[in-house]
Structure 1
Amino acid sequence: MGKYRKILVAVDDSPTSMHALEEAFKLARCEQCWITVVSVVPAYEGDLGMTAFGNVVEAFRAPYEKALAEAARRASGQKVLVKPVCEHGEPFERIVDLAEAENCDLIVMGRSGRRNFQRAVIGSVTARVIGYGQKDVLVVPPQASIGWSNLLIATDGSRFSKIAERKAIEFAQAYGAELHAIMSVDLPAEFYGEAFEVVERLVQEAKNYLLQVRDLGERSGVSVKTAVREGIAADVILAYAEEKKIDTVVVGSHGRSGLRRLLMGSVAESVIRASAIPVLVVKS
């Protein structure tokens, strides 16, 4: 049984967004759900009087309308029904609002190459959609494929992570997936020398918590492989994902740091920024 009923895919004229759209088609077939495709025309900030060389505003809109037409063409070729929508305004606001209006429960977005994303991640549309929206967001890196057969839930025990844990278990149950759960213990270097017993205690607490996650999975008929690693959380998560050939990483939207909604949570942000595989950010 699918876990998402309606998917919203945000596109522009970039290859990365079209790749995410193609992957969303695959997901829609698996989930047997509907797709709404949106392209948002940002507010035109030029001089509306400068129209000597044609309709400047129409020319500004053209790439976004072209992206929608291309999305419809690709959908037709794959026999996927989509609803194209062209919006105007602040992109992240229009995407978040449309997801609510269309009652979508998942937003799929492409991610630019690592170098560009690292340079402007906080100001990116993707980051703001995650930070301000209430819907789950699946971020698809270039050339990555969406898969549910080998999943990793990265948790810190926060209430946001608990929501993500349940969602990961639901997916593992629905797809018969192998599920891994990981926690990291990350302390300043000076802590290790001065209070090694503190590190040991934190590692044991993490192991005990993951036993609860494993028990939660077992109650749903899902076997959960657990791991505790020492190091920076995002680095630990990504290294483990590569080691275990994970298909998709599942994370909560915020960690214990309690950052403002704009920032989505530093660990989730760092994982999305550097991941070579899709990352599902669970919000509800």
Structure 2
Amino acid sequence: MQRILVAANLTPAGMLAIRRACDLASGHCADVRLVHVVKPSARTGEVDAAQTRADEAAREAAVHYPCVGEVSACVLKGALVDAVCREAEAYRADLIVAGAHADRDWRDSLFGTAGERIMHAAGPPVLIVRHDATGPYRRVLAAVDTGMGAAGPLRLACQISSADTIFAVHAFAPNLSGLVRAGGKAGLQDLEQRELEKAVRDALAGRTDLSVHVQAAALPGDPTSAMISAWEVFRPDLLVVASHGRSGLARILVGSVADSMIDQLPFDMLVQRLPAGTAADSSTGS
């Protein structure tokens, strides 16, 4: 990880994202770019004032996080999501960090919050930050599918260099055919657990460089409730999940597990948008 871009709104809540980005960058001596977006109609004075605040935030971050590479700041005019995604591409960002949106209205429900819309539109993984960076991410919870669906979230979780334990959790919904095939609830639980363990082994095959401990757990229920249960048991610092990037009307009609988790779970979340056509089942994927 060499470059981290922060969608910075320069409010006290937005500073959480800046601090977490710098905390992550410190472990890699990575560069950090703070991006603040103003309306297209913003006047020169407003842009200049915003640039002054952004530069000051960058200077403060550089002082508090001396192991970070270069901390820079820019103010852009335009639509927030488009501007952030364009800058992330131009900057060749390895990660985008954005603050979570505390209050939702009907527009957020239809189109998603800024963080969610960036998550669906951006190429790099997106970290949604809810809490202050009081320490590095040590215990990472990865929401995975069985089969090929395990690879993306697990590989993303392995990029968290500070992690010492990854909990690979698969949510499955018991159904009649599955229960009959497995010979009851206990048999189905055992079958799902074995399939998950195989998927984890396959996804991490050849990774002799990994020192992190990976623990697999198949849990019955819908993805959100399963992640809540897993969070209560494992007490991780970060949730990693993959998203199929649904938005707008498709988001309402089809839904998105990643969006649902952002809405309902008060955790920091690292989200990777899956390429179109990526295979995933209907349980933990979104």
| Separation (CA, whole Å) in 1 of partners of 2:38 and 2:171 | 41
Cα distance, 1:35 vs structure 2: 0.6
8 A contact 2:129–2:269 mirrored in 1: yes
Cα distance, 1:253 vs structure 2: 1.9
Residue 278 (structure 1) aligned with residue 268 (structure 2): yes
**Residues 70 and 243 of structure 1, relative CA distance in 2, 3 Å threshold:** farther
**Residues 281 and 245 of structure 1, relative CA distance in 2, 3 Å threshold:** same
Structure 2 residue aligned with 1:229: 219
8 A contact 2:80–2:114 mirrored in 1: yes
| Separation (CA, whole Å) in 2 of partners of 1:208 and 1:117 | 42
8 A contact 2:150–2:199 mirrored in 1: no
Letter of the aligned partner of 1:245 in structure 2?
A: R
Letter of the aligned partner of 2:214 in structure 1?
A: V
8 A contact 1:38–1:95 mirrored in 2: yes
Calculate the TM-score normalised by the size of structure 2.
0.78
Secondary structure (helix, strand or coil) at the match of 1:116 reads coil
**Residues 62 and 186 of structure 1, relative CA distance in 2, 3 Å threshold:** farther
Cα distance, 1:139 vs structure 2: 0.7
8 A contact 2:151–2:200 mirrored in 1: no
Secondary structure (helix, strand or coil) at the match of 2:192 reads helix
**Residues 176 and 62 of structure 1, relative CA distance in 2, 3 Å threshold:** closer
Residue 268 (structure 1) aligned with residue 258 (structure 2): yes
Cα distance, 1:205 vs structure 2: 4.7
**Residues 279 and 117 of structure 1, relative CA distance in 2, 3 Å threshold:** farther
Secondary structure (helix, strand or coil) at the match of 2:123 reads coil
Structure 2 residue aligned with 1:210: 196
Structure 2 residue aligned with 1:48: none
Residue 16 (structure 1) aligned with residue 13 (structure 2): yes
Residue ranges of structure 2 left out of the alignment (5+ in a row): 275-286
8 A contact 2:145–2:196 mirrored in 1: no
**Residues 237 and 137 of structure 1, relative CA distance in 2, 3 Å threshold:** same
| Separation (CA, whole Å) in 2 of partners of 1:83 and 1:179 | 32
- The 5-angstrom pairing of residues 239-258 of structure 1 reads 239-254=229-244
Q: Which one is further off, 155-164 or 260-269?
A: 260-269
**Residues 168 and 123 of structure 1, relative CA distance in 2, 3 Å threshold:** closer
Give aligned-pair identity as a percent: 24
Structure 1 residue aligned with 2:97: 108
Cα distance, 1:21 vs structure 2: 0.3
Secondary structure (helix, strand or coil) at the match of 2:34 reads strand
Residue ranges of structure 1 left out of the alignment (5+ in a row): 45-55
Structure 1 residue aligned with 2:166: 179
Aligned residues: 260
1:108-144 CA distance string (max 9 Å, x none): 111132x438982543211111111111101110446
Among candidates 23, 27, 30, match of residue 30 of structure 1 = 27
| Separation (CA, whole Å) in 2 of partners of 1:40 and 1:9 | 11
**Residues 39 and 57 of structure 1, relative CA distance in 2, 3 Å threshold:** same
8 A contact 2:139–2:163 mirrored in 1: no
Cα distance, 1:34 vs structure 2: 0.5
Calculate the TM-score normalised by the size of structure 1.
0.78
**Residues 116 and 223 of structure 1, relative CA distance in 2, 3 Å threshold:** same
| Separation (CA, whole Å) in 1 of partners of 2:189 and 2:92 | 41
Residue 95 (structure 1) aligned with residue 84 (structure 2): yes
| Separation (CA, whole Å) in 1 of partners of 2:270 and 2:237 | 11
- The 5-angstrom pairing of residues 11-160 of structure 1 reads 11-44=8-41, 57-58=43-44, 60-61=46-47, 64-78=50-64, 79=66, 80=68, 81-113=70-102, 115-116=103-104, 120=108, 122-143=111-132, 145=134, 147-157=136-146
**Residues 117 and 161 of structure 1, relative CA distance in 2, 3 Å threshold:** farther
Q: Which one is further off, 63-72 or 28-37?
A: 63-72
| Separation (CA, whole Å) in 2 of partners of 1:242 and 1:153 | 14
Secondary structure (helix, strand or coil) at the match of 1:250 reads strand
The RMSD of aligned alpha carbons is 3.1
| Separation (CA, whole Å) in 1 of partners of 2:112 and 2:87 | 20
